[in-house]
Amino acid sequence: MGCTVVVDGFFGDTGKGKIVSYLAVADGAAVCARAGVGPNAGHTVVRDGRTYKLRMVPCAFVNPGTRLLIGPGVVVNPDIVLKEVGELGVEDRFGLDPQCAVIEPRHIEIDRRGHLKGKIQTTGTGTGPCNADRAMRTAKMAREVPELRPYLTDVPAELNRVLDEGGAVIIEGTQGTYISLYHGTYPYVTSKDVCASAACSDVGVGPTRVDEVVLVFKAYVTRVGAGDLPGEISHEEAKRRGWDEYGTVTGRQRRAAPFNFDLARRAAMINGATQIAVTKLDILYPECKGLTSFEELGPEAKSFVGRIEEEIGLPVTLIGTGPGLKEVIDRR
């Protein structure tokens, strides 16, 4: 328990949302804080047959007892925040830090033209231009937006208080290691570092307070937007294998490649991972669908998981066997 950071070891879209929501329920998290860039992320949670696509509110909303926070490092779009909070009915347990920077219409305009749209192929959500303004010390802050006022709270103080009292905290990272501004395939990256230490900084939790870093990989690799993808297969081949996916935020078909052990090993190093989650095992091995016990897995699926553990030198503790919240093998 204590403080768990959940981050992505590939290019985003590995299923962090599902892992965060599972952990929130399984561990009865007192609070979950969203770190990362901003509403360029789309996290998907499937509960009781209903699909939720979240861009601002933490995925831990599925656990009614969990407080939901957005850390000061995140840039927010007030329209999306207020819409999600209202639709999910989490007004009484949602908060964001007054120091979150605010995306304005001009940021979105800049993000949808020039080299950001043409060369980098960003999500067009205004996060990069907003972070640029933040670095220029000209960004608007959440504390200046009257509609957000009811939700403003000191996020670092709340999180550290919960940790002092022995409660469980989840820090929800976004994007992925290889689209980090520092550790990714620059310039084809997002506008911030998004690795585990950056996620802690985003929410105001120091590195000495972290107990577990869960590094999430999908059973194959996907990437949206421009930039290198080793071992990339064609869109047609991806469809044939059932690896075709479409962006949560942009609807673009994701590019796909087989699981990459070299990238995985390096991501474990950079993030200081303590354990690994592997999602969508059922897409590689359909007979795994919905299983919740490791012993029931077929020999090929078991040996794939074993190879990941061997190559990276860390335990695979969580395995996703379907989109549903409970379709998880928990070996912790």
Cβ 82 to ligand IMP, closest distance in Å? 21
Pick from 9, 42, 129, 225 the residue near Mg ion by CB under 5 A: 42
The mark string for 61-100 relative to ligand IMP (x by CB under 6 A, - otherwise) is: ----------------------------------------
Taking the C-alpha atoms of residue 219 and residue 215, their distance in angstroms, rounded to an integer, is: 13
Taking the C-alpha atoms of residue 115 and residue 311, their distance in angstroms, rounded to an integer, is: 38
Residues 6+ apart with CB under 8 A from 40: 55, 122, 123, 125, 127, 174, 175, 190, 249
Pick from 3, 6, 10, 13 the residue near Mg ion by CB under 5 A: 13
The residue (of 14 and 66) whose beta carbon lies closer to ligand IMP is: 14
Cβ 266 to ligand IMP, closest distance in Å? 18
Pick from 4, 63, 77, 175 the residue near ligand IMP by CB under 6 A: 175
Q: What are phi and psi of 329, to 5 degrees?
A: -95, 120
Q: Does 248 bind Mg ion (CB under 5 A)?
A: yes
State the amino acid at position 307 in one-letter form: R
State the amino acid at position 122 in one-letter form: T
Pick from 2, 80, 112, 121 the residue near ligand IMP by CB under 6 A: 121
Position of tokens 């969990």?
66
Pick from 120, 130, 205, 273 the residue near ligand IMP by CB under 6 A: 120
Annotation says 183 is catalytic: no
- Alpha carbon 129 to chain centroid, angstroms: 21
The residue (of 245 and 327) whose beta carbon lies closer to ligand IMP is: 245
Strands laid side by side in the 316-320 sheet: 94-96, 67-70, 31-34, 169-172, 3-8, 212-218, 275-279, 316-320, 328-330
178's tokens: 């290889």
The residue (of 95 and 128) whose beta carbon lies closer to Mg ion is: 128
Cβ 12 to Mg ion, closest distance in Å? 6
Q: Which residues bind ligand IMP (CB under 6 A)?
A: 12-13, 37, 40-42, 120-123, 125, 127-128, 174-175, 179, 188, 190-191, 224-225
